[in-house]
Amino acid sequence: MKRLIFPSTLWLCLMAALVFSSHAQAQQLPDFTTLVEDAAPGVVNISTSRTVSSRGDPSFHGFGQEDIPEIFRHFFGDRLPVPPGGGQGQGPEQGRSEERQSLGSGFVISEDGYVLTNAHVVEDADEILVRFNDRRELEAELVGSDPQTDIALLKVDASGLPTLNLGDSDELNVGEWVAAIGSPFGFDHSVTAGIVSAINRTLPRDAYVPFIQTDVAINPGNSGGPLFNLDGEVVGINSQIFTRSGGFMGLSFAIPINVAMDVADQLRDDGRVNRGWLGVMIQPVSRDLAESFGMETPAGALIADLDPEGPAARGGLEAGDVILKVNGEDVERSSTLPRLIGRVAPGNEVDLRLLRDGREISEQVELGRWPNNGQANTSQPDTSQVRLGVAVREVDDAIREKLNIQGGVEVTNVDPQSVAAQAGIRPGDILVSIDQQRVSSAQELADVVTKLPTDRAVPLRIYRDGRSLFVALRLQ
């Protein structure tokens, strides 16, 4: 066999080509140095403290990362108690108070001292301190917060502050580069980068935010920090992660800056957020339901029930209507509806395109004001629907008297792929209690379901065909 011998000039050409190719690929990767240099002065570290009573409960100190369920969650920045002896306790019998601290991030949106962050970063805080890039530390006042979008607006007594340029989150595209600056685990002004993985994500219990999903490394302490595009403009606020370990696993979620600024403007002007309220209980349209309604593909939001005094009922909407469009925008899935309704101011009319009895019709409804107490908020997807996979309605007094029960809700629909279906729950069942807690309304059920554990099964007591029985349910 002959041995091929390459001339030295050919080797040199090959090596040069490889070097040139590597250099060309490196030039195609984004350079964040200028972005970071320009933006760093406007990014802040936020620390809070609050005093809580542990009532002498020894289990208070035993809650660690291993106890946190595997769910979409806000990363709340290492809120930990002060070590034993650091509180002002009087002993287990009388209870004691302890100082708990939290770390997060934020950024300056105006030269006169307005700072944007997440609501959960400053929740229940007794003191809020904002630390700037130049090591100045100023006490901040909470102007207002909106738990529904997880946005909080702070104010520090200062002027001439460095601000960040705000972009248009509606212009974001999947696959484009983004970067985050924040304080993960207290390491100030840490920079991470990645791409936009998806847009318009809807997460459980966060119906009003079309999240930006990225693979930017985000950890506790990044919460409330800015997400930048390559032009150095803020396009989002880092808010949540999905994790099984307590740390970053490649799935992070940011609140679009357009949503955040709309909330911030209302908090600054009114101290609260005013949202439109439709007054309906909705559920997804499954494939089987779509077929039964004569729809080619599952879409829209199915009205399972209405508040009899709500705007939808006054506007002529009915249970069984499928809402397909709001002001000309498609309701792609049920979780889209609260977002479209919530961004319309109360008192304004919305044009709704509905499917009723196999034909499409249009209705105009004047929206009400979203109730602060949450009792009448049925335009938001019911938490029981999200986690259990059921739609429910209240039981009338005649049935309660017949069965000799207090409270209870009737199951009107069960998602065949849900944990409720796996537990054997059927339409027509009357759910009386869950995890030993009575339920008398859809709102009570939603409140209970929100707090259910994922590491063990819980008992559900139901009435079926006039008889009482228990079923075991395990959330995933």
Question: Whole-model pTM?
Answer: 0.67
Same domain, 294 and 360: yes
Same domain, 51 and 150: yes
Please calculate the CA angle 297-298-299 and round it to the nearest 5 degrees. 110
Q: Which of 379, 208, 326, 346 is nearest to 274 (CA)?
A: 346
Catalytic residue among 47, 54, 74, 150: 150
Q: Which of 211, 331, 202, 212 is nearest to 278 (CA)?
A: 331
150 noted as active-site residue: yes
The answer to whether residues 400 and 406 touch, using CB atoms and an 8 Å cutoff, is yes
382 noted as active-site residue: no
Same domain, 73 and 152: yes
Catalytic residue among 54, 190, 223, 379: 223
129 is written with which tokens? 């301190």
The answer to whether residues 459 and 435 touch, using CB atoms and an 8 Å cutoff, is yes
- From 156, 191, 213, the end of a domain falls on 156
Same domain, 408 and 468: yes
Q: What is the pLDDT along the chain (476 residues), one digit of tens a residue?
A: 455 555 566 556 666 666 555 555 555 789 999 999 999 999 999 999 877 554 444 333 322 333 333 344 454 444 433 443 444 444 444 445 555 577 899 999 999 999 999 999 998 889 999 999 988 999 999 999 998 899 999 999 999 999 999 999 999 999 999 999 999 988 989 999 999 999 998 886 677 899 999 999 999 899 999 999 999 999 999 999 988 777 788 899 999 999 999 999 999 998 888 888 898 888 888 888 888 888 889 999 988 778 888 899 999 999 889 999 999 999 998 888 988 998 898 999 999 999 998 899 999 999 998 765 443 333 344 445 556 778 788 887 778 777 778 788 888 877 776 788 888 888 888 888 888 788 888 778 877 887 788 767 778 888 888 777 877 777 76
- From 95, 123, 156, the end of a domain falls on 156
**CA–CA separation, 364 and 352 (whole Å):** 6
- According to the model, what pLDDT value does residue 435 have? 81
Residue 6 lies in a domain: no
Same domain, 64 and 89: yes
Same domain, 79 and 182: no
- From 99, 121, 156, the end of a domain falls on 156
- According to the model, what pLDDT value does residue 375 have? 37
Same domain, 263 and 280: no
Please compute, for residue 215, the number of CA atoms within 13 A of its CA located in the half-sphere on the CB side.
8
**CA–CA separation, 207 and 342 (whole Å):** 9
- According to the model, what pLDDT value does residue 18 have? 61
Parallel/antiparallel/unpaired status of strands 329-330 and 322-326: antiparallel
Q: Give SS3 for 61.
A: helix
C-alpha dihedral over 10, 13, 17, 23, to 10 degrees?
Answer: 140
Q: What is the 3-state secondary structure (H, E, C) of 98-147?
A: EEEEEEEEEEECCCCCEEEECHHHCCCCCEEEEECCCCCEEEEEEEEEEC
Same domain, 333 and 358: yes
- According to the model, what pLDDT value does residue 327 have? 95
Buried b (16+ CB within 10 A) or exposed e, 41-78: bbbbbbbbebebebeeeeeeeeeeeeeeeebbbbbbbb
Same domain, 263 and 282: no
Whole domain around residue 265: which residue ranges? 169-270
Q: Which of 283, 296, 388 is nearest to 335 (CA)?
A: 283
Same domain, 127 and 174: no
Residue 19 lies in a domain: no
Same domain, 211 and 261: yes
Catalytic residue among 47, 54, 105, 120: 120
Residue 32 lies in a domain: no
Structural domains counted in the chain: 4
Count of C-beta atoms within a 10 Å radius of residue 424: 15
Q: Find the CATH number of the domain harbouring 202.
A: 2.40.10.10
124 noted as active-site residue: no
Same domain, 239 and 298: no
Q: State whether the Cα torsion 230-176-170-334 is positive or negative.
A: negative
271's CB contacts (< 8 A; 6+ apart) are 143, 144
The answer to whether residues 339 and 305 touch, using CB atoms and an 8 Å cutoff, is no
Per the listing, tokens 């600024």 go with: 261
- According to the model, what pLDDT value does residue 376 have? 36
Residue 183 lies in a domain: yes
Q: Find the CATH number of the domain harbouring 387.
A: 2.30.42.10
Residue 119 lies in a domain: yes
Q: Rounded to 5, what percent of the chain is helix, strand, coil?
A: 20, 35, 40
Residue 131 lies in a domain: yes
**CA–CA separation, 323 and 338 (whole Å):** 11
Residues paired with residue 325 on neighbouring β-strands, in sequence order: 330, 353
